[in-house]
Amino acid sequence: MKFKLAVLPGDGVGPEVVAAAVQVLQAVGRMSGHEFVISYSDIGGVSIDRHGVALTEDTLKMCKRSHAVLLGAVGGPKWDNPLASMRPEDGLLALRKGLKLFANLRPVKVLPMLIDSTTLKPEVLRGVDLLVVRELTGGLYFGKPKRQWQTAKGRRAVDSMVYSEEEIERILRAGFELARVRRRKLTSVDKANVLESSRLWRQIAIELSSDYPDVELEHQLVDACAMRLIQRPAEFDVIVTENTFGDILTDEASMLAGSLGMLPSASIAGIPESRRRIFGLYEPIHGSSPRRAGRDMANPIATILSSAMMLRYSFGLAKEAESIESAIESVLEEGYRTYDIMSKGMKKVGTKGMGDLIARKVA
């Protein structure tokens, strides 16, 4: 089959990790006979520099015409001025909103051969296999009012955590559905002891749970969840939470897998079902890592794993997705490591080297 793929490399290490993922996809194409027709465009800082905006209408259109989008990263010190009217991150947010990608799936799995390269005790990490379902187009990121202004008593600023019933229901349903095809445990994370939006969230979670009697629902406050994630991470199956909480908890959870450079993500506009292909945006959860940019250092595995998620959800190619995942495992098994997961006695490789090794295994 023929699939249209929009690729937005973005800033910092984005272009390097994306190049490695494209190389792996091409190997999958050769092996499976499927064709991936790729169009490239700009997003983030590079788009501000070239076109004056972080996301152009043309780029958004190109993405809408594709079956899926693969993205590197956005941002960097060059565009970090807090007074600037536009930031690279605005491009990513506009893309998520423009493509209606309300559900962000961030799986966290601890690979046995990396247990020793994490900062946590191996016995805490054994068996960790969780999925964070993060709400992606609401909450503090998009709520209005959102502004900064001058008053007689100094400056003030406001962000608003706004959620409608519809927004909460669809993300919770995504959580329930995904729990159903895993270990059937859903942890709904909120701050219902303080926030009104969280109280609505919790009520709706309780109401919906009668539609999913086969899924065990528990509620956790976000601060307690942050603690439990490093105390007893193996107890989690699916965590569903609002935008900002999910952003913070997934950076924390990435340390369970050894590095931010290991965690993929899928942002989708519906609830994934095994038989239906779904439009999505796939990106590593790490940022643009400006200090490593252009130095062939960054770990491409998060982006390569993201492209495996793309094959599974957007292209319906589950077998090919698995072949990427097992190629990654065997390259790690053989002792190859990028700097971020390096440990004694292992063989250090760069972004390109890691991409080559994985592509060769897939083929």
Catalytic residues: 141, 191, 223, 247, 251
Q: Give least dist CB 303 to ligand IPM, A.
A: 13
- Cα separation, 120 vs 257, in Å, equals 10
Alpha-carbon distance values, 118 to 110, 262, 264, 288 (Å): 10, 12, 17, 22
Secondary structure, 3-state, 110-160:
CCHHHHHHCCCCHHHHCCCEEEEEEECCCHHHCEEEEEEEEECCEEEEEEE
Q: How far is the CB of 261 from ligand IPM (least distance, A)?
A: 14
90 binds ligand IPM (CB under 6 A): no
Nearer of residues 190 and 247 to ligand IPM, judged by Cβ: 247
- Residues 281 and 71 sit within 8 Å (Cβ to Cβ): yes
Residues in contact with Mg ion by CB under 5 A are 247
Instruction: Choose among Mg ion, ligand IPM, none what residue 92 binds, the Cβ cut-off being 5 to 8 Å by kind.
Output: ligand IPM
| Cβ-based nearer residue to Mg ion, 242 or 247 | 247
- Cα–Cα distances (Å) from 35 to 123, 191, 300, 328, in that order, read 43, 46, 22, 22
- Compute CA distances 220 → 56, 156, 211, 216, whole Å: 40, 32, 20, 13
Helix (H, G, I), strand (E, B) or coil at 166: helix
Closest to ligand IPM by CB, 130 or 208: 130
Tell me which residue has its CB nearest to Mg ion.
247
| Minimum distance of ligand IPM from residue 92's CB (angstroms) | 5
Taking residues 189 to 228 in sequence order and writing x for each that binds ligand IPM by CB under 6 A, - otherwise, the string is: ----------------------------------------
x-marked contacts with ligand IPM along 238-257 as a string, rule CB under 6 A? ---------x----------
Tell which one of 179, 285, 317, 324 touches ligand IPM (CB under 6 A): 285
Cβ pair 225, 198 in contact under 8 A: no
CA distance 356 to 89: 30
Residue length of the chain: 363
To 10 degrees, the CA torsion angle through 19, 25, 27, 32? -170
Nearer residue to ligand IPM within complex by CB, 43 or 215? 43
For ligand IPM, the closer of residues 23 and 307 by Cβ is: 307
Residue 284 contacts which entry, ligand IPM, Mg ion, none (Cβ below 5-8 A, type-dependent): none
Neighbours of 134 (CB within 10 A): 28
Q: Which helix (H) or strand (E) holds 54?
A: none
Q: Please state the closest distance from residue 361 (CB atom) to ligand IPM, in A.
A: 28
92 near ligand IPM, judged by CB under 6 A: yes
| Smallest distance from ligand IPM to CB 104, Å | 8
* Positions that interact with ligand IPM (CB under 6 A): 74-75, 89, 92, 247, 285, 287
